[in-house]
Amino acid sequence: MAEEKILKGIREEIDKISIVDSHEHIRRQSDFIADRQNLFTSLRHCLVYPDFISAGTASTDWERNSTEPEEGWKRIKPYIGDVKTTSYFRTLMIAYKDLFDFRYGEITDANWRELSNKISEVYQREDWYEFVFKQKLNIDVAIWDAFWDPGALEVEKKFFIPTLRMDPFLFVRSKKFVPEYLIEKISEKWGVVYETFDEYLGLIDLAFRKIKEQGRVCIKIAVAYCRPLVFEDVTKTKAEKIFYMPEDEIRRADAKKLEDYIMRFIIRKTWFNLP
């Protein structure tokens, strides 16, 4: 009993400590409200869905942000048994119990609708983020990376400090090799047109000015998912030559050299320009 009392006291003191969450990809609350969340979309917006794909669901089943609950349950029901012991799913079950008062140890035909309806209900609450971030988790602020929305600058500042994903800036001439990172999405959003290499580097300068204006404290680069983390010292002359090469002539080795130069350019900007 004495040991339990001590552990309880330690837990209570820890719970009083506010948290700075250094890494979040959570969507805007307005997006969640608009999409009408349910059990299937809840699984879609966390990293448990690749476990379902490994178990046998079609990857295309998870491409939509919203799905009717009945349809979603029919898709995942045959595979629940295969994913229920994975770490992502077990962690999610803890969250379902804590946030949605889910009373059961497993999701079944008999209880899935109750959970799905509860998820739909709470995500329509305008104070839901306030409840989760402030009351339940005691998060003072979270650093927010909207990788799915390149160049996004607006953020709910009560909960988040935004960061800017810089990956698209590296891959300006790497579309054949890294097609998911399109710098055009950022230049269009910001209304910037570039033609010369110096104008392109000016776009990176603009990114840092916007970062500072928004009170951002960091940038993020996640290129380790798609290329080696060895960045050679490439001259500006060499990088500029590759920048102007015709698309059909660029090899992966060429694109990497330009990426290397831009990465070092960004690092220098980070070192000298961020507060």
Segment 66-90, tens digit of pLDDT: 678 899 999 999 999 999 999 999 9
Whether residue 69 contacts residue 40, with contact meaning beta carbons closer than 8 Å, is answered with: yes
- In 3D space, the residue among 167, 141, 260, 161 whose CA is nearest the CA of residue 211 turns out to be 161
Looking at residue 56, the DSSP 8-state letter turns out to be T
User: Does 193 map to a domain?
Assistant: yes
pTM: 0.81
| Distance between CA atoms of residues 110 and 262, nearest Å | 55
- Give, for 272, the enclosing helix (H) or strand (E): helix 252-273
Same domain, 31 and 72: yes
Same domain, 174 and 132: no
Residue-range definition of the domain harbouring residue 230: 164-273
Same domain, 179 and 236: yes
Task: Work out the average pLDDT over 245-260.
Answer: 95
Helices (H), the chain: 2-15, 29-35, 39-44, 49-55, 69-76, 80-83, 87-100, 112-122, 128-129, 167-170, 183-190, 197-213, 236-243, 252-273
At residue 31 the predicted structure's pLDDT band, cuts being 50, 70 and 90, is confident
Residue 17 region by backbone torsions, left for phi larger than 0, else alpha for psi between -120 and 50, else beta: beta
Task: Work out the average pLDDT over 102-125.
Answer: 94
Which amino acid belongs to residue 252?
Answer: R
User: Does 153 map to a domain?
Assistant: no
Strands 139-144 and 19-24 come out as: parallel
Choose the final residue of a domain: 116, 136, 156.
Answer: 136
Choose the final residue of a domain: 136, 153, 177.
Answer: 136
User: Does 58 map to a domain?
Assistant: yes
Task: Name the percent of the chain lying above pLDDT 90.
Answer: 64
Q: Domain tally for the chain?
A: 2
